[in-house]
Amino acid sequence: MKRIYFSLIMILLFAAANTSAKETKTCPDSNHIIMGAEQTDKIKELVKNKRVGLIANHTSILSDGTHLLDALLKKGLNIKKIFAPEHGFRGTDDAGADIKNSIDGKTGTPIVSVYGKNNKPTAEQLADVDVIIFDIQDVGTRFYTYISTMHYAMEACAEMNKEFIVLDRPNPNDYVDGPVRKKGFSSFVGVHPVPVLHGLTVGELAHMINGEGWISTGKNSCRLHVISMKNWRHGQPYSLPIKPSPNLPNDISVKLYPSLCFFEGTSISVGRGTQFPFQVLGNPDKKYGNFTFTPQAIKGMDTNPMYKNKICFGEDLRSKPFEGGLSLRFVIRFFEKSGRNEKEFFSRADWFDLLAGTDSLRKQIIKGLSEKEIRESWKTDLDAYKQIRKKHLLYDDYSK
């Protein structure tokens, strides 16, 4: 009798385990982030019977690898044109290179440049469009120009009474840090009065731009819709499945980018023209370090890098621990290596200031202030910004 009971118990336990395994396998993964772009039924409902303009690039991909353009066309949506940002629709153009109008070879959809000579869609370009959809992966940094493209497209839509839809994606550099951009330092790498690391998704930033009245037409003048993500919160780590631009090829470069981009206004190379940009630092002078690299023309990344075909000496940051966020230790250390030579190091001082959003940072470094002292000078502006930020959050904020 005991054997019968034992056998029955074992059968029941096996059946329960098997059922549990099946349930686990079919249960939706609550940790899987569902991007705005993947919610195609919502998109279809918003743009039904409307003529659509699409601001997109190579990062506008669904989780199954389908490009958003292809997915929307498959849904029967009327995509009239693509607006291409810096690096182009396919994301292969050099940083700063003019993007030309063209035709998408796969779908025959016209591509209109909104980078270079034309940063903002014109009335003529919007005449046959009712709504613009924006879907581009950002890296959470003020001087990354995709958010500047979004700003001017929102402004154009507000001026022409067109709708603007943002399909949201995670922020891989989800911190609030750095100097807030000051008046007098506005540029295409600093359109908004936000810190270097703004701590927002593009959807939240669009809400802030609209709600704070940062476009010329005033507060809430843009007919804005954001399709939010599901299963994401602030502070949640996110590894980009596709490099967001030619010179941010991996997670290390994305993480270091906010701290190293300041070097673009100096005499120090960030490794453009190598296979590891924004992961190394160097200069042809041997005083900068023992690690060497030689920038070369690389099609699809940089065809005319700083110190092209010259051996550079410096540091390899790839194997060094970095906590993420924004650090000034790199720029301060290399300024010290220059012998504190202001003219040699800050070779493009105006560009450094535009990237920083102020001339105070450069002057503080020259003066010899420590990172702690410099950070203290940001506190008042950052505290004020954080209060503004709270108003526009669409997701749970950082854990306390």
- pLDDT, tens digit (0-9, with 9 covering 90-100), for 271-290: 999 999 999 999 999 999 99
Q: Which CATH architecture has domain 36-227?
A: 3-Layer(aba) Sandwich (3.40)
Tell me the two tokens of residue 127.
């005449």
Tell me the β-bridge partners of 355. none
**Of 246, 83, 59, 51, nearest to 152 (Cα)?**
83
**Of 135, 144, 154, 145, nearest to 115 (Cα)?**
145
pTM for this structure? 0.89
**Of 291, 278, 275, 296, nearest to 337 (Cα)?**
291
Residue 306 has, within 13 A of its CA and on its CB side, a CA count of: 19
- pLDDT, tens digit (0-9, with 9 covering 90-100), for 121-170: 999 999 999 999 999 999 999 999 999 999 999 999 999 999 999 999 99
pLDDT at 243 over 70: yes
Residues 380-386, mean pLDDT to the nearest whole number: 98
Share of the chain above pLDDT 90, in %: 82
Q: For residues 362 and 369, is the Cβ–Cβ distance under 8 A?
A: no
Q: Which fold has domain 251-377?
A: Aspartate Aminotransferase, domain 1 (3.90.1150)
Q: For residues 54 and 26, is the Cβ–Cβ distance under 8 A?
A: no
How high is the pLDDT of residue 177? 98
Q: 11 Cβ partners below 8 Å, 6+ apart?
A: none
Instruction: Give domain limits for the chain.
Output: 36-227, 251-377
Q: For residues 305 and 269, is the Cβ–Cβ distance under 8 A?
A: yes
- pLDDT, tens digit (0-9, with 9 covering 90-100), for 333-342: 999 999 999 9
Q: For residues 143 and 262, is the Cβ–Cβ distance under 8 A?
A: no
Share of the chain above pLDDT 70, in %: 89
Q: What is the DSSP string of 91-159?
A: T-SPTTPPPPPEE-TTT--EEEE-SSS--S--HHHHTT-SEEEEE----SBTT-THHHHHHHHHHHHHH
How high is the pLDDT of residue 10? 42
